[in-house]
Structures are given as C-alpha cells and as structure tokens.
Amino acid sequence: MFEFFNALQDPRREQGQRHKLKDVLTIVIMAILSGHQGFRGFARFAKANEVELTEILKLKHGVPCFFTFRAILTELNEQVLVNEFIRWVQGYLPDSADDFVSLDGKAIKSTTQGGNTNFQNFVAVVNAFGHRSGLVYGMKSYENGKSAEGEALRNLVKQLGLQDTVFTMDALHAQKKR
C-alpha cells in the first residue's frame, strides 16, 4: 500500500511538513477500517492509538492532528487518487482474475442538500467490484444535480479498460443510447 501512497503527489508545500503523506493516509485507512469517519474521527483514532502508531510508523512528531487530516484530505486531487488506485490494483491482478465485475451506485449518507425539492442534490459513488477476487477495481463520485449515475458508470468502465469481462449492473443502465 505504501507503493500506492508514494505515487501520489503531496498537495502541501514542503516547508513545515511534520508528517509524510503516506503516514497520514495509512492512519486514515486504519481509522476507516476501525469505524471512524470524518476529520475529527480520524484525529480521535490517531490520538487513541498514538503510542502504537508512533512506534509502527516511526513518527518523529507524534500523530497528526485534526487540521493536518483536513488540510491533506481536502487538497488531494480525487481524480488522481482514483486513477492511481486503479493502476495500483490492476498491477496485482492476474489477467483472468475476474470474469464478472459488478457495477453499482450508492448515495453517500448526510450529503443531501435542497430537501425534497426539485433542487435536491447529493453526492454518490459508483464502483466496480470483482466477484471472484473480492477487490474493488475502481470508483467514481458524482453529484446527482450535475450528472447522473449512468454517465459516471460509463466513465468508470472506460477508465478501467477491462477486456473479456462480463459486467453486471442494475436495469437502470440497460438503456438504448440516444
């Protein structure tokens, strides 16, 4: 995973950096796997596990604080992150790893704006999941007010570039191209 993190460009200026990007992202993933969400959740997880994280990751300045998580995660280019993730995952898969890949979209909780009006907007993601391998091949986010699930899904399939693969998806996507 560090190989994947090292391929990402740190959005912060070099001066004054106390924590490496790979260490912060590792803590974020560990926090998410432990059920924590958001910048404050990541900071609480880091503080609660400070001794272990400092020792294992060899952190000179202790664990990052809330502001460090926020600065890094809000500035990371999502599209670069997704592209690098897809490239990294594909490097570990044999050519015939999955014959079937599921495609699905889900709305993200607590992102709704505009209530039950015509101006309602929320953030959602589509992802590609391999049946046999159990791996997520990639994901793409979109806002329903600006684009649709079908468009995001088609872009994800193009981005993946998978050959000789059967895609399974909701009937919503079985529409004739206009």
- Give the span between the Cα atoms of 102 and 129, in whole angstroms: 5
- How far is residue 105's CA from residue 94's CA, in Å, rounded to a whole number? 26
Decide if pLDDT at 174 tops 80. Answer: no
Summarize pLDDT for 17-45 with one digit per residue, the tens. 889 888 999 999 899 889 898 899 999 99
Flag whether pLDDT at 49 surpasses 60.
Answer: yes
CA angle 111, 168, 90 (to 5 degrees): 80
The per-residue pLDDT for range 4-15, each reduced to its tens digit, is 777 788 888 888
Domain ranges in the chain are: 2-76, 79-173
